[in-house]
Structure 1
């Protein structure tokens, strides 16, 4: 057993003390760095979420115009011949209005025998057979469609009963979204940043980097019920920013 006066023990004591002091300093430094990191994290945790809107009014660039008419007769053969004759006249009318043959399509007529219905016929009608035919215009010439729609009365004067309760609605569509999408996203993001900057200034903070962002769905709707050929395109972007003192 070594004596406390052993010179080797005396030499080791200062080294152990120094080592212990260094360890203590290290622990204090680590605690300080950890505290500063936590403080920095808390600062970064301050955020603001804003929404940016972009809207455009654009003209429709595609029209789908179904034109239907109805006929009735007691002779089914005569009914089909009448429908065929009037369908030919309707196609001719559209060509004269300036539509190309490839823009015009005809569907097979639909004929109903009222006496063959299981639930009974319509006793008020003097005709056994009713038929309906549809001619559809599919074109990018929206202006021509709108102008020709106002002339359908000419066919009525020729005995072609256009429309009715079963007539399909004309569709005006906008298919050029990809051309305006980048500009609208940029505008929505810019509007979001303006809102976030104002919030930061009002709260005595500075706007930092984007934490996350999401682009909402694009929506295309009629501007109003009276002008379905004019569309309103809309997108909302949501952006979250960091705030700094």
Structure 2
């Protein structure tokens, strides 16, 4: 039986027509594909724009300060006594210790508030210098007493009157940090201080938004700084030298910006 293609059709013509059909459809497919790619690019582009818009933010710092008064005080009292023998030096330092305790009792401090923190004994003849062998100052005893109390104002008055100890025969040794005043209620202050610092930061961000004709949104990120206790007088040095102190905290906050 003869083949239909061979009997009734020209194969080359048939294949050419099919090729023509495919060629005619190719421009339409290309247009659809290009349109699809264009739309997807449009969506991708708008997605990036939205992400970038959402990432617009301003970083500001907020400050909060509060004047505080130390609620615990400490006083380091260093004194010394000498003697030709160890027993004589010990007798002298014991007498001076009683004098100091009596003075502090007069200022309103109980015996429990006073402790002996350190005692050091020095034999000067042990240096190899025989001149101290029969010297009245061969043995030197240095003693440190610590006073700790919540009677801050009474302690400050006692420190101001320490020359009375000298008048009574106590040989005092002075130091840079004899008195110290501490504020121990810091944890109770933290929530209110952080809130105040955050409000201060928002006020700064809102001023920036006003200047740039935009609006401030929510918080993107917030970082709490360290709490500092500073001298209220503004002087350099340790805040512990006086009861009057200043509590400070600085926070860093990122706020979103909205058009």
Q: Does 1:76 align with 2:86?
A: yes
Question: Any unmatched runs of 5+ in structure 1?
Answer: none
Count of aligned positions: 240
How far apart are the structure 1 equivalents of 2:53 and 2:46? 11
Query: Within 2, Cα distance between the matches of 1:158 and 1:141?
Result: 24
Equivalent in the alignment of 1:109: 119
Structure with the greater alpha carbon radius of gyration: 2
Q: Aligned-pair distance for 1:73?
A: 1.9
TM-score of the pair, normalised by structure 1: 0.83
Match of 1:27 in 2: 37
Q: Deviation per CA, 1:14-60, whole angstroms, max 9, x where unpaired?
A: 99998877655443322211111111122223221111001111001
Equivalent residue, structure 2, for 1:92 = 102
Establish whether residue 138 from structure 1 lines up as the match of residue 152 from structure 2: no
Q: In the aligned structure 2, how far is the partner of 1:37 from the partner of 1:201?
A: 27
Give the CA RMSD over aligned residues. 3.1
Q: In the aligned structure 1, how far is the partner of 2:71 from the partner of 2:64?
A: 21
1:182 aligned residue: 191
- Once the two structures are overlaid, the 10-residue window that deviates more, 226-235 or 170-179, is 226-235
Decide whether aligned partners of structure 1 residues 33 and 137 sit closer, same or farther in structure 2, where only a CA change above 3 A counts. Answer: same
d(CA) in 1 for partners of 2:68 and 2:129? 49
Structure 2 vs 1, CA of residues 71 and 168 (structure 1 numbering), >3 Å: closer, same or farther?
A: farther
State TM-score, norm by structure 2. 0.79
What is the deviation of 1:151? 2.5
Match of 2:71 among 56, 61, 66: 61
Deviations 1:194-238 (A, max 9, x none): 101111110122212222111111111222459621111111101
